[in-house]
Amino acid sequence: MHSATDPRQLLEAFVAFTDASNQLQSRYESLQKQLAMLQDEFQTVLEAVPFAIWVLGEDGELRFSNRPAAMPGTFTDGPPPWEHGSPNGLRRFRDSEEMDHFLEQETRPTEKGQIVILRDVTEQHLRTQQTNREERLQAMGMVAAELAHEIRNPLGSLALFAGMLVEDLSDKPESLDLSRKIQDGVQRLNTLVTNILTFSRDLSPKPSTIPLKSFWEDAKNAAGVPEDLEWRNKVPATAVWHADPGLLRQVAVNLLQNSMRAMENSPKPKLALTASKENIDSRPYWHLALTDNGCGISKEAMSRIFDPFYSTFGGGTGLGLAVSHRIITAHDGILHVESDVNKGTTIRLRLRACE
C-alpha cells in the first residue's frame, strides 16, 4: 500500500519548477538579446572591413555577403567571385564609370562550401608597377643624357641662324615660308632635347599651389589644342594640386599633344577633364582623368608605352609619357593609363592636394 503524497510537497515542487522555468525563460531571452546584439555588431564589422566576403554553399548558392552580390561593373578576366570557375589571384575589374581596379581574390574551403575574399589592391599594384618602370627608365636615361648634351650646343646655333633668316627674308614670301619650316624643325628638336634632359636628370620638385581648372586651360593653349576640338573641363573650382607648376606644365602639354595625335582621324575629336578628391594613406589627393576618343592603344603596346623612344605614332619621339612618368613619380604621385582600341584613352593622374 502506497502512502499518499503530501499536497504541500507537490505545491512546493510546482513552485520550484515554475521559478526555474521563469529563470530559464529570462536567461533565454537575455541570451537572445545578446546574440542579436552580437549579430548586429558582427554585421557592422563585416560591412566596415576593407574587403568583400562571400560565403557560398555546396552548390555555389550565396549564403552570406557583406557586399552586394552583383558589383556594378565587369571582371575582365573571368567569372565574378560568387560564380563557379572564378579564378584566384590578381584580378582586373572595370567599374560602371569605366575605371579599372585591381583586386586580390582568395578562396578558402569550408565543410560545406567555400568563403571567397576580395581585397582592393589597386594603389599597391599601380605603385609597384611604377617603381619597376622607374628603375628601368633610370638606366636608360644615362645614355640619353650624354646624347642630349652633345646635341644642345649646335642646336642653339641653328636656332639663332634660323631666326636671323626669318628676319632677313621677311620681304620674300616663298623663302620666308621655307625658313619658318626650318625654325619649326629646330624648335621640335629643342623640345626633344629638353624632354631627354628632363627624363635623365634627378628631379627636385618645388611644390606650390596649382588650381587645376585654370592650370589645364593654360596647358590647353600651350599645347595648341585647336578651337574646333570639343573641350570639356569639368574640374571643380576647389581642385588644387600641391606640385611644381613648371614640371606639371610639361606633363600636361605632353599628355594633351599625345591625345591630339591619337584623335587625328576622329570625325568629332573631343577631350574631357574630370577630377575627384581621394584619401590615400590618410592623405588627400586629387585624382584627375583626361579622356579622349582617339584610336586607343593596343594591349601589346600598353606594356611599352612608358619606354623612352617607343611611340605608337609614326615619327613620334616616344618621350612624352616617359618624361611625364618620371615627373609624377618625383611628386610621389601615380600615373595610370587605360585604353580601348578604336574607342579612346583615359589618363589618370593622382597628386597630393593642398591641405
Decide which of 120, 135, 158 is a domain's last residue.
Answer: 120
Res 142: pLDDT = 63
Domain shared by 169 and 300, yes or no:
no
Query: What is the average pLDDT value for the chain, to the nearest integer?
Result: 83
Question: Is 164 within the bounds of a domain?
Answer: yes
Domain shared by 238 and 335, yes or no:
yes
Domain shared by 226 and 344, yes or no:
yes
Decide which of 97, 120, 143 is a domain's last residue.
Answer: 120
Q: Between these two residues, 193 and 274, which has the higher pLDDT value?
A: 274
Domain shared by 247 and 303, yes or no:
yes
Assign 1 a pLDDT band (cuts: 50, 70, 90). very low
Give the tens place of pLDDT for each residue, 24-79. 888 888 888 887 787 676 667 666 666 788 888 888 788 777 776 567 788 888 88
Range of the domain at 238: 205-355
Question: Is 21 within the bounds of a domain?
Answer: no
Domain shared by 197 and 284, yes or no:
no
What's the whole-number mean pLDDT along residues 158-164? 81
Residue 3 has pLDDT above 60, yes or no: no
Q: Between these two residues, 309 and 208, which has the higher pLDDT value?
A: 208
Question: Is 198 within the bounds of a domain?
Answer: yes
What's the whole-number mean pLDDT along residues 86-106? 85
Domain shared by 324 and 239, yes or no:
yes
Q: What is the pTM of this model?
A: 0.60
Percentage of the chain surpassing pLDDT 90?
26
Domain shared by 209 and 355, yes or no:
yes
Tally the domains of the chain.
3
Question: Is 236 within the bounds of a domain?
Answer: yes
* β partners of residue 340: 344
Residue 189 has pLDDT above 50, yes or no: yes
